[in-house]
Chains A and B, each alone.
Chain A
Amino acid sequence: MTDAGFYASLAAARRVAAGCSEREAVWQSGKLTLFRYRPIARPAVGGVPLLIVYALVNRPYMMDLQEDRSLIRGLLAAGLDVYLIDWGYPDGADRFTTLADYIDDYLASCVERILRTHRLAALNILGVCQGGVFSLCYSALHPQRVRNLVTMVTPVDFHTPADLLSKWVRKIDVPAWVGEGNVSGDALNQLFLSLMPFRLTQQKYVHLLAGGLDSARIENFMRVEQWIFDSPDQAGAAFREFVVWLYQENRLVHNTLEIAGRKVDLRALRLPILNLIGKRDHLVRPEASAALKRLVGSEDYTALELDLGHIGMYISERAQREVPGAIAGWLAAR
Chain B
Amino acid sequence: MEPDLWRQWQTFAAQFAPLEQGSAPSAEGPQGRHGAFGFAPFIDSAERFAAEARAFIGSSVNASASSLADGARKFSDFLRDQAAAAQPRWGAAFGIGNPNAANASAQWDLPALGATREYQQRAQRMAEAWRRMDDAQRRLQRLWSDALRDAAATFAAGLGTATPSAPSTEALNKLYDTWIGCAEDAYARTAHSEAFCGALADFANASSQWRGELQTTLEQWAKMLDLPTRSEINALTQRLRSLEERLPGASKPPASSKPPAASKKAKPKVAARGTRRAPRKAKA
Contact = CB atoms under 8 A, between A and B. Distances in A.
Interface string A18-32: 000000111111100
Contacts of B43: 209
Interface of B: 12, 14-16, 18-19, 25, 39, 42-43, 45-46, 83, 86-88, 169, 173, 176-177, 180, 183-184, 187-188, 191-192, 197-198, 200-201, 204-205, 207-209, 211-212, 215, 230, 234, 237-238, 241, 252-254, 257-263, 266-271, 273, 276-278, 280-284
Contact of A116 (B87, B177, B197, B259): B259
Contact of B266 (A10, A26, A180, A202): A26
Given A96-B237, A164-B191, A199-B180, A205 B42 contact: yes
Nearest to B172: A210
Contacts of A268: none
Contact of A95 (B15, B234, B262): B234
Contacts, number: 178
Contacts of A113: 269
A96 B197 CA distance: 29
A120 B259 contact: yes
Interface in A175-211: 176-177, 179-181, 190, 194-199, 201-203, 205-206, 209-210
A95 B277 CA distance: 16
A155 B50 CA distance: 41
Contacts of A241: 284
Given A4-B25, A28-B269, A194-B88, 19 more contacts: A6-B15, A30-B271, A30-B273, A96-B237, A98-B283, A100-B280, A106-B276, A117-B262, A169-B201, A170-B201, A173-B205, A176-B209, A176-B212, A179-B208, A181-B230, A190-B88, A196-B187, A213-B15, A241-B284
B144 to A, nearest CB: 9
A168 B263 CA distance: 50
B261 A119 contact: yes
A28 B271 contact: yes
Given A108-B253, A198-B183, A206 B42 contact: yes
